[in-house]
Amino acid sequence: MTHTLHRRGTRESLSRDFPVMMLRAMGFNNSDYLPKCQEFLRIASRHNPANLASEMKGNIVQFPLEEIIADAKGDSFAVFVSTEDLTACLRDLREADLGLSVVISGDFEIVQRCLKDAGLEHHTANFSLGIWGKTDLLPDERVLEIVTMCGHGMVPPKLVTTLIHEIKGGRMTPNEASRLLAANCTCGVFNPNRAAELLATF
């Protein structure tokens, strides 16, 4: 799963952005996986996630945590903004040993350090090779930093630019705008904390 792999931004900004996913492999460990995904959500919720969601249900910007856990129907997702919270979550996941794949995206060296501190080693590593093709058709790089936090493309660039105008006009705060954007990313890998920081710089 690589839809969180193509986030853009400075290393400093991305050092506060760590999507974590618990996924089943169809045909291998997809029977009785929902209780495990629900337990992942419970564990992640104890470590200050910036966002958290169950696939096909929605995220904590849209629904209360208890409702997301109760109605979980697919893979589970969380986003952390500190290495301390990420490491603590990984320790608890190691202890729980739920038997499903855990995927973490972020700065490779930082993630490696968190894994080591949690007593884990990574199994596989994927790297983004950037964007190829007609890059002149892409939105502004600063807008890309926001929209690439939703790997399924559910946060449209035009909405971002509209909200930037609202913020500049004093009709909306960066936090309010980031929550509107986060609601579009139903799998919950959009980081509203980082989005608010980025929106405040326009």
Query: Tens digit of pLDDT for each residue in 79-124?
Result: 999 999 999 999 999 999 999 999 999 999 999 999 999 999 989 9
Could you tell me what percent of the chain has a pLDDT over 90?
A: 83
Cα 62 to chain centroid, rounded: 15
3-state SS class at 105: coil
pLDDT in tens, 172-201: 999 999 999 999 998 899 999 999 999 999
Confidence check: pLDDT of 2 > 80: no
So what's the pLDDT on residue 180? Answer: 97
Confidence check: pLDDT of 140 > 80: yes
Confidence check: pLDDT of 13 > 70: yes
* Residue 11 contacts residue 106 (beta carbons within 8 Å): no
Q: What is the mean pLDDT of residues 120-141?
A: 91
List the alpha helices (DSSP H) in the chain: 11-14, 34-45, 65-70, 83-96, 108-117, 141-147, 157-168, 174-184, 192-199
So what's the pLDDT on residue 173? Answer: 98
Please give the Cα distance from 20 to 22 (Å, whole number): 7
So what's the pLDDT on residue 24? Answer: 86
Any idea where the domains of the chain sit in the sequence?
Answer: 11-117, 135-199
User: How much is the mean pLDDT over the chain?
Assistant: 94
So what's the pLDDT on residue 36? Answer: 94
So what's the pLDDT on residue 77? Answer: 96
So what's the pLDDT on residue 25? Answer: 84
So what's the pLDDT on residue 32? Answer: 85
CATH class of 11-117: alpha beta
So what's the pLDDT on residue 1? Answer: 54
Phi–psi pair at 41, nearest 5 degrees:
-60, -40
Phi–psi pair at 111, nearest 5 degrees:
-60, -40
So what's the pLDDT on residue 186? Answer: 87
Q: What is the DSSP letter of 14?
A: H
